[in-house]
Amino acid sequence: MINYFTAMLERNLFMMTAHLSQTDARLGLLCQWIEQTLGSVTRVSAISGDASFRRYFRFVLNSGQRVIGVDAPPEYEDVQAFVKVQQLLKSLDVRVPDLYAGDVMQGFLALEDLGDATLFSVLSEDNVHHWYELALRMAATMASARPDQALPPYDVTLLDREMQLFIDWLLERHLELRLSCREKNWLYDHFERLKQIIAVQTVGLVHRDFHARNLMVVDHKTLATIDFQDAVIGPVTYDLVSLIKDCYVQWPQTLRDRWCDAFREQLKAKGVTVPSQEEFLYWTDTMGIQRHLKAAGIFARLWHRDGKPGYLKDIPRTLSYIEQAGARHDAWRTLGEWVQDVVQPRLAEVQEQS
C-alpha cells in the first residue's frame, strides 16, 4: 500500500548516487539500473514504502517522463509474482501500472507513475458512491475471473497462518495477554468455524489487499489498483470486505450492506454462483472477521518487528468490524463480545501507556 504523500527530495542524480553509494547501496544500484535501462535521470524523489520490505522512488527522466522505481530485496520479496499478476490483471482489462522494465535477480522494477491521488485521499461523503461503484466493478471483474495462469490457493494453511498473527502479535506480544490453553482452544474453535464458512464460498481471483489506499485515481476519472502481487484464488467476498470494511476508513453499515448487495448482483450478472442475499451477507461478514483478525495482528507486528508504529491507531477500527459482525450474527456473538469486553479495553490501556 503505497503512500504517495511524501515530501520531494529532488537532487542532482550524480550527487544523489554518490551519497547513496555510502549510505544505501541498493538505492544507488536502483538509480544506476534506471539510467541504464530507461535513460538519463534528472531528479529522484523518495516515496514512503508500504507494509513490506519494498521501497518506492519517483524518477524523472531527462525526457520528462516520470517512472516509479521499486526496490524489492530478493531475499524478502518476489518481483516475479508482481509481474505475473500485473500481466494477468491487464488481460482482464483491470487498470494497473504499466511495467516498463524489471530485473528479477536484483529485485528492481520500473513502473508507470500513476500520480499522487490515492482513492483514500479524495474520498468524501459526497463522492464515495461514485468511486465505490467503480471499485466494486473492478472487484467483480477480478472475482469472476477464472485465470489460466496458476495462482496460489487461499487454502487452510494460509488462513491458519494469518489468524495466528492475531494471537502471536496482537494478543500476546502487543497486549501482553497470557491466554490459557482453554482460552486458546476457544479461539481456535472459532477459527475452525470461520474456515468452514469460508470453504463453501465460490472462488475467484482475489487481489488480497483491495482497499482505498491501494486504489489510485487516474486523470480524475478512473481507478487503477496497485500492490496486487499477493493475489490468490480464493473466496469471492474477500476483496469486497477489504473495500467496504476498510481498516483505514469506516462507512455506515447501511451503506456497506447496500454495496454488498450491489456486488452480489454484479457477480450474478457475470455468471458467478452466489447464494441468497442474506447468506451472501453472512459470507461477507464471516470473511471480514478472518481478514480483520489477520490485519490487527499484522498492524501489531509492523510495530514490534519492523519498527512501524503508524498502523497501531487503526487497530481499534479494525477490531470494531468484528464486534459489529458479532452483534448481527449469533454464530459470532461471543467472539464479538469478547473483542469488545476484553481486547478493546486492554488495547486502550496499552495505547494510553505508550
The whole-number pLDDT of residue 2 equals 39
DSSP result, 265-306: HHHHHTT-----HHHHHHHHHHHHHHHHHHHHHHHHHHHHTT
Report CA 329 to chain centroid distance, whole Å: 26
**pLDDT value at residue 305:** 95
Q: Count of domains in the chain?
A: 2
pLDDT of residue 8: 33
**Residues 72, 133: one domain?**
no
Q: What is the pTM of this model?
A: 0.90
76, part of any domain:
yes
Q: What is the CATH number of the domain that holds 239?
A: 3.90.1200.10
pLDDT at 253: 97
End position of a domain, from candidates 112, 132, 150: 112
Q: Are residues 261 and 347 in the same domain?
A: yes
pLDDT of residue 341: 98
More confident residue, 316 or 9: 316
Give me the pLDDT at residue 14, please: 41
Residue 4 has pLDDT above 50, yes or no: no
Q: How would you classify the pairing of strands 215-218 and 108-112?
A: unpaired
Which pLDDT value is given to residue 12?
Answer: 38
Q: Do 123 and 87 have their domain in common? A: no
Confidence class for position 49, pLDDT limits 50, 70, 90: low
In a domain? residue 3: no
Among the candidates 81, 112, 143, a domain finishes at 112
Residue 207 lies in a domain: yes
Point out the least confidently predicted range of 27-36, 120-129, 141-150, 217-226: 141-150
Residue 301 has pLDDT above 60, yes or no: yes
Q: 266 and 148 share a domain?
A: yes
Q: What is the pLDDT of residues 122-178, one digit of tens each?
A: 999 999 999 999 999 999 999 999 776 689 999 999 999 999 999 999 999 999 999
Over 60: is that where the pLDDT of 6 sits? no
The Cα–Cα gap between 190 and 119 comes to 34
Query: Stretch 225-230: mean pLDDT, rounded?
Result: 95
Instruction: Note whether residue 5 is domain-resident.
Output: no
Q: What percent of the chain has pLDDT over 70?
A: 92
Is the pLDDT at 66 greater than 50, yes or no? yes
Do 170 and 107 belong together in one domain?
no
**Residue 101: which CATH number?**
3.30.200.20
Q: What is the pLDDT of residue 5?
A: 29
Q: What is the predicted pLDDT for the residue at 51?
A: 55
Q: How would you class 233 by CB atoms within 10 Å of its CB: exposed for 0-12, middle for 13-18, buried for 19 or more? A: middle
In a domain, 337, yes or no: yes
Lowest mean pLDDT, pick from 1-10, 15-24, 277-286: 1-10
User: Does residue 180 share a domain with residue 46?
Assistant: no
Residues 134 and 200 in one domain: yes
Residue 151 belongs to some domain of the structure: yes
pLDDT (mean) for 210-236: 96
Predicted local confidence at residue 150, as pLDDT: 82
In the listed set 62, 95, 112, which residue is the last one of a domain according to the structure? 112
CA distances from 45 to 24, 42, 65 (A): 14, 10, 14
* Contact indicator for 263, 140 with CB cutoff of 8 Å: yes
- Residue 95 domain flag: yes
C-alpha distances in angstroms, 261 versus 130, 238, 244, 274? 16, 14, 12, 11
Residue 208's pLDDT is 97
Domain that holds residue 69: 13-112
Query: Do 152 and 40 share a domain, yes or no?
Result: no
Domain identity same for 321 and 216: yes
* DSSP letter for each residue of 225-268: E---TT-EEEETTHHHHHHHT-SS----HHHHHHHHHHHHHHHH
Residues 194 and 51 in one domain: no
CA distance 270 to 238: 17
Please indicate, yes or no, whether residues 189 and 302 belong to a single structural domain of this protein. yes
* pLDDT tens digits for range 91-134: 999 999 999 999 999 999 999 999 999 999 999 999 999 999 99
User: Chain-wide mean pLDDT for the chain?
Assistant: 91
50 domain residue, yes or no: yes
Same domain? For 128 and 24 the reply is no
Lowest mean pLDDT among 148-157, 199-208, 301-310: 148-157
Percent of the chain surpassing pLDDT 90? 86
Q: Specify whether the CB–CB gap between 288 and 256 falls below 8 A.
A: no
